[in-house]
Amino acid sequence: MDNRSLSTLQHIYFLGIGGIGMSALARYFLSQNITVSGYDLTKSELTVSLENEGAKISYNTDLNLVPGNIDLVVMTPAVPIENPIYKYFVKKEIGIFKRAEILGLISRSKKCLAIAGTHGKTSTSAILTHILHQSNLHPTGFVGGIMKNYNSNLVLGDSDIIVVEADEYDRSFLHLSPDVLLILSLDADHLDIYGDHQTMIDAYQELSLQVKKGGVVIIDKELSKTFPSEWRSTLLKKEIEVIYTGDDTGNRVENIKVHNGQFLFDLIINDKVAANTVSVMPGAHNINNALGAAVIASKLGLKIHDLQNALSVFKGIKRRFETIYQSPSFTLIDDYAHHPDELETAVSTSKMLFPNKKITVIFQPHLYSRTQDFYIRFAEVLDKFDEIYLLPIYPAREEPIEGVKSEMILDIMKNNNGYIVDIQILIAKLHDNTPEVLLTLGASDINKYHGVIIETVS
């Protein structure tokens, strides 16, 4: 299939339509007046909103509910191959594609701005999409979170600019050939796929070499040292420009501070300074994400004060250090953090915002494989909170791994204020020991407990 074939499609079926990335793609095809059907295990806010937009969704695997005349199937890795609907499409010999493959086809004829990295992809994609939209460049942005300005994970535009997340899981990002590639971070993750950290880094290098001739790679100067010495010269031979960010470059941030509960910083792009730029999304990591988005936007011709103005009216993303509830005595914050380094930023950000308050965390580890790989680091980071509640591992797409459970983390923690809990025990403990600042962390459905938490604590 090529990108021209997409325009001939009349009916697409999404197997796992309720995922954040899958739902954005489904929304896109609905906007193209293509019939969209799908399956998901559970009804959610995302699936309900898709149904309201015209998608036909079933929540069980009854094959009588699968419509006919389907041209193409898009499938998420979260759906097991034992799924009866998947087996049905295989038997019918209907083409089944990964979301990343279809996204790659869509982007092929566009000016593709790709955001890669172990952390920060969603936040940076959202910030960049917002800056370009606010500046009337009319991008289409596929974002792995709900942007509060647009109440959606998809922004539609009529230009040829497309913003996408370059997802490293399952090497999905190798379906992309971007015009501009931003690499935010290269911390080890998805080692169940790559085997070791170096193999993961090699995949990022391969992605950078797939940037189109005349394109741009943007990367922190220190981070670029992770790649072999000949990497930059290879890119230059392919006529790919390399732009560095970070200390001692013309693209950096300085003077990060908190004022009246808001993060401010000096944004420096091409050695021009926009002082006291507002970061609505708290934390030094989000300021670094804003820097990356700003460098890309500047390459598209935007001036630094356009960038500063756009950032000041960005409202943030749901589940990205999102304040869910706040009163004089209690603050509840939700964040998607599921990697040790993301937990580290949650610690540092919360301590900067609430320097004199007790910080309590509820953490639900995401995936057995990730817990197995990083349980020591998880323990080290969680030790830095004042009180810690660990929920059982959220399995997502995985089957259990023998011996791998949340207790692995607690058993090696040095903080004596850590507990393994289920939701009933958790609520009882929160009732008896009221937190001042409470963070719910994890790439799971932990946010579904917010209502009962607020009712218990406030």
Tell me: the pLDDT tens digits for 278-302? 998 888 889 999 999 999 999 999 9
* Banded model confidence at residue 168, pLDDT cuts 50, 70, 90: confident
Q: Is the pLDDT of residue 41 over 90?
A: no
* Confidence (pLDDT) at 344: 93
pLDDT of residue 82: 92
Residues in the chain: 458
**Are the C-beta atoms of 197 and 130 separated by less than 8 Å?**
no
The pLDDT confidence band at residue 4, using thresholds 50, 70 and 90, is: low
CB-based burial of residue 320 (10 Å sphere; 0-12 exposed, 13-18 middle, 19+ buried)? Answer: buried
Beta strand 359-363 pairing with 387-390: parallel
What is the average per-residue pLDDT within 34-42? 94
**Rounded-to-integer distance, Cα 35 and Cα 31, Å:** 10
pLDDT, tens digit, 9 for 90 and up, residues 302-325: 999 999 999 999 999 998 899 999
pLDDT digits (tens, 9 = 90+) for 49-86: 999 999 999 999 999 999 989 999 999 888 888 999 99
Residue 336 predicted with pLDDT over 70: yes
pLDDT at site 3: 57
Global pTM? Answer: 0.88
Give the C-alpha separation, 176 to 167, whole Å.
Answer: 10
Confidence at residue 420, expressed as pLDDT on a 0 to 100 scale? 95
What does the alpha-carbon distance between residue 397 and residue 369 come to, in Å, rounded to a whole number?
11
- Domains contained in the chain, CATH given: 3-99 (3.40.50.720), 110-312 (3.40.1190.10), 322-457 (3.90.190.20)
In the three-class reduction of DSSP (H, G, I as helix; E, B as strand; rest coil), residue 378 is classed as: helix
pLDDT at 448: 87
Residue 109 pLDDT greater than 90, yes or no: no
pLDDT of residue 219: 98
Helix (H) or strand (E) holding 324: strand 322-326
Spatial distance between the Cα atoms of 458 and 456, rounded to a whole number of angstroms: 6
Phi and psi torsions of 153, nearest 5°: -100, 10
Q: Is the pLDDT of residue 384 over 90?
A: yes
Q: What is the pLDDT of residue 190?
A: 77
Task: Determine the residue type at 89.
Answer: F
Q: Give the separation between CA 43 and CA 57, rounded to whole angstroms.
A: 9
Mention every residue, 6+ apart, whose C-beta is less than 8 A from residue 345. Answer: 119, 283, 284, 285, 337
Specify the pLDDT at position 77. Answer: 81
149: amino acid identity, one letter = N
With a cut of 90, say whether residue 217 has pLDDT above it.
yes
Q: Is 420 left (phi over 0), alpha (psi -120 to 50) or beta?
A: beta
DSSP 127-152: HHHHHHHHTT---EEEEEEEETTTTE
pLDDT in tens, 172-206: 899 999 999 999 999 878 788 899 999 999 999 99
